[in-house]
Amino acid sequence: MNSLAFFAMLLYFIIYSLGAPIQYVASLIGVQSLVTFSKVALPGILILLGLVKIFLRMEINKKVFSLTLLVITSLLIAYFSRLPLVQIVYGLKTFMPFFGVYFYFFYFYKKKKDFKFLYRLMIPVTFLGLFVDKFIDFPWSNISIEVGGIEREISRSWETFGVERLAGFQTASYDSAILIVILITLFGISTFNKAEKSKKIRLYDSFLFLLGIYSIYLTTFKSAYVFIFVYLCFGLLKKYYNKTTQREKKFAGFLMKLTLLCLFLYSLIPPILSIMGINFFSKVGQSSNFMSNYLFKSYGIRMMHTWPDALKLLDLASFSGWFGRGIGGVGTAQQYAEPLVYNAGDNFFLFIFITFGVLAIPLVLALLKLLLKINFTENNWFIMGCLLLIIFTFGATINFIDSPFLMSISGALLALYTNFYYNKLLKINS
């Protein structure tokens, strides 16, 4: 069972980390549907293996159990909202990476040193893809395939105000940036309490970190910039935290929580303001200033159109929209059955509110509670800090739930965090 789980997880990682060339080669030999199917089948296998473990142990983490109930309830809401079956199925698919990767890291994963290997291998590979993409056009760039009757680009190449957004080996530039963030996060977890002894390896790892930052620069993905900045602040505060008095430790802990709280509000408040008709960036699109357009125009579009229009989807829901539209009611799943009202959502909290309605409120409060209850004396605070950092930075402006990368790393980090307590409890009870 362990070997099957490892093979499924490895294959799943390869297919997504080298998604564009794999999909391109598959399309040339006529098996593109097989690659698409594997993206569903592999997390499905991990979920089934996880369920076997649950039945054998007769126990399940409360957080994951609550999320499972929420998804099941939302499937029923989608049915009562009369969403087409294909839309519901695709909506369910978007949650599979979270649960599949969670079960793998909670029940099967044992070696944190694998994170270092992935970091040292995939940072150069991802950089290579982006760097080469800067000078030549890959054969898969802007090539489309048909999946489920919907035309999809293997790799999207486009520009923002004349600045090219490079995708490399990924479907889009933001996927490459998110992959780098994932690699940096997992590497940070593996070295958090135990740094490398070899000075040469530490120097090489530092070089890779800088290479990763430059790679993010090549993607022009602004949310990744925010993540890296706060991630570095966490590292500095952690170093400061471990070498100070108790009073100074409280202050350092306060700064870290305050940073996360600001990011929480950054991802939660703007959609609410936009729905109320308040848009601080309404005049940006009329400006001729390159920098203001580059930094804020897309954000202004979200506040003016994307977020207010997304809320209107609840007019199509059952139960007066109180319980949302259900799974598949917003985001990519709409493209398969209701493309005329498609809305990406482009905000984590707005997305879950349209999907779950008032049932999303406990989830929002749970995230806030996790933030406020981070205990910096515990060895695993960094894991929860990174999980919240990823949700609040990327969830502020992109379609978080529809991203297999973000859902996968969220499942992995939650598993690593809860597994620490699980093992601690086993020690206490033994």
Digit-coded pLDDT (tens) for 309-355:
999 999 988 888 899 999 999 999 998 889 899 999 999 999 999 99
Work out the mean pLDDT of the chain and round it to a whole number. 86
pLDDT (mean) for 242-267 = 85
Cα–Cα distance measured from residue 223 to residue 295, given in angstroms and rounded to the nearest whole number:
11
- 430 pLDDT more than 90: no
For residue 219, the number of C-alpha atoms closer than 13 Å in the C-beta half-sphere is 32
Identify which has the larger pLDDT, 349 or 3.
349
Cα–Cα distance measured from residue 16 to residue 403, given in angstroms and rounded to the nearest whole number:
11
Residues 6 or more apart whose CB falls under 8 angstroms from that of 235 comprise 188
Backbone φ and ψ of 141, nearest 5°: -70, 125
Cα–Cα distance measured from residue 409 to residue 98, given in angstroms and rounded to the nearest whole number:
8
- 284 pLDDT more than 60: no
pLDDT (mean) for 1-20 = 90
269: nearest Cα among 364, 362, 355, 359: 364
Cα–Cα distance measured from residue 394 to residue 162, given in angstroms and rounded to the nearest whole number:
24
Each residue's pLDDT tens digit, 91-110: 999 999 999 999 999 988 87
Cα–Cα distance measured from residue 277 to residue 396, given in angstroms and rounded to the nearest whole number:
18
Q: Report how far apart the first and last C-alpha atoms of the chain are (Å, whole number).
A: 26
Run of H or E including 317? none
Alpha helices by DSSP H, 285-372: 290-301, 307-311, 348-356, 361-372
| pLDDT at 21 (0 to 100) | 92
Identify which has the larger pLDDT, 292 or 1.
1
Each residue's pLDDT tens digit, 355-387: 999 999 999 999 999 999 988 877 788 899 999
Q: Three-class SS of residue 150?
A: strand
| pLDDT at 137 (0 to 100) | 86
- 221 pLDDT more than 60: yes
pLDDT (mean) for 410-420 = 88
| pLDDT at 326 (0 to 100) | 94
Among the residue ranges 51-65, 83-97, 249-263, 273-287, the one predicted with the least confidence is 273-287
| pLDDT at 418 (0 to 100) | 86
Identify which has the larger pLDDT, 43 or 148.
43
Each residue's pLDDT tens digit, 142-177: 888 776 666 777 887 766 656 678 888 998 889 999
Question: pLDDT over 90 for what percent of the chain?
Answer: 52
| pLDDT at 287 (0 to 100) | 59
Identify which has the larger pLDDT, 281 or 85.
85
| pLDDT at 424 (0 to 100) | 54
| pLDDT at 242 (0 to 100) | 67
User: Which DSSP string do the residues of 101-147 spell out, in sequence order?
Assistant: HHHIIIII---THHHHHHHHHHHHHHHHHHHHHHHS--TTBT-EEEE
Cα–Cα distance measured from residue 33 to residue 29, given in angstroms and rounded to the nearest whole number:
11
With b for 16 or more beta-carbon neighbours within 10 A and e for fewer, the 351-379 pattern comes to bbbbbbbebbeebeeebeebbeebebeee
Bridge partners, 145 (sequence order): 152
Given CA atoms 41, 42, 46, 49 in this order, what sign does their dihedral have? positive
| pLDDT at 422 (0 to 100) | 47
The angle that helices 2-17 and 404-429 make with each other, rounded to 10 degrees, is: 150
pTM for the whole structure: 0.91
| pLDDT at 13 (0 to 100) | 93
Each residue's pLDDT tens digit, 113-125: 678 889 999 999 9
Cα angle value 406/408/412 (rounded, 5°): 115
Run of H or E including 396? none
| pLDDT at 413 (0 to 100) | 94
